[in-house]
Structure 1
Amino acid sequence: MKKPPLHSLADLGALRDDIRRQQALEAERRALAAAEAARLAREQQLFSLTVGAVRPVKVAPIANIQRPQPTPEPRQRIADELAALHEALSDEVDVESLLLTDDGLSFRRPEVSLDVVAKLRKGHWSIQQQLDLHGLRRDEAREALSEFIRLTHQQGQRCLRVVHGKGHGSPGKEPVLKAKVQRWLAQRQEVMAFAQAAGPQGGAGALIVLLAGRTR
């Protein structure tokens, strides 16, 4: 700021007083800053005397290992499906009234014609999938058959072969598994008909199964 011109000794005296006031204010500011610096120095010295020498803590390097997360396993859903499977396929269901009284004890739903069963028996349609139950215990065979029917039906496959064996290794040489497989198949809503396979397709040791078409 440009100072006004001096016109008298009074103006000179006022200027001198103003300079003195500014110098006093500056001296006071410096004194306050020095006092604050002294206070901080005392506090730092007191901290050092209290805790002693301070050294940085050495931190060991930490490896960043990215491990693949395990695939979630739907255990409850699997358990529910197995429980429903055991309830759905019973060994005690009487299906004899549904079986046709022919040599192979064929089976058909009421809406399926006898001609369809005859074609099954003669191997009219190509086999799209096969399940072999040899060597499986009863519960294993039941679960395997139920899963086989479910998957093939989902895939839109219609003509299947289920090999249950002729029972040569069973007590009394009776095909125990064959009767059970017939009961299990008759309880599945996807199964429209089945018949004993022709000789080249397994004969008395296998069944040819026709599934319903998959609804969209």
Structure 2
Amino acid sequence: MVQGFKMKTSEYSFTPFKGLKEALESKRYTFSKKDTIKNKSDEEIFLDAMADVREIKEFRKIFPKKPPMIKPSPVRKDDSLDILRQIVNGERKIRLSDTGEYIEWISPNMRKDIAWRLHQGDFSVQDYIDLHGMTLSEAEEALCLFFREAIKKRLFCVKVIHGRGLRSPRGPVLKEALKRWLQGSFKKWVLAYSTAKDCDGGLGATYLILKSNPSVSPLIKGRNKMGYRYRNR
């Protein structure tokens, strides 16, 4: 062992972190009250965040698409006032079939156009009965006798005059009763009925087609003009 040998510190010692403390101290940043986020407004915070944002010039040439043009729907002319004026001036007739007083019915085995043809007056009226001035019981009894006689005579088309009840405080009592009877006790004798045409009683009268006449055969579904039944192919 060598005694008395002493290494010189200045020539042989290695201290790589010497001066690190001084360097860190020099880089330390102390926040002032002005730099705290708490004292900044939302707008200032946003401006700070966007400080390094730069515009992309290429995007200047990109234009947003225009929304499609929506054409306004054409304004439809309201003709209701013109129609009303024509009706008031007598230039246009009211279609009875468009009113609430119009009535019609056909038996299920009858052709669908029969009710309209009946209303138009395509079938000649062979007899009629006037119920004006009768009570309900009198009118029902008179109708029963009328239908029986008409069927005996094999009449095809008849007319019942019942009125509209315009002067009655209870309204068209006879007309409403007739509708009930035609769907009840008298239904067995009737194939179709419809409001009479305007010049033949209009809403105050009703045309009826009776069952017993052979002339109804061509009007029934599935029969030809000679009255023989056939099948649709």
Q: Which has the larger radius of gyration?
A: 2
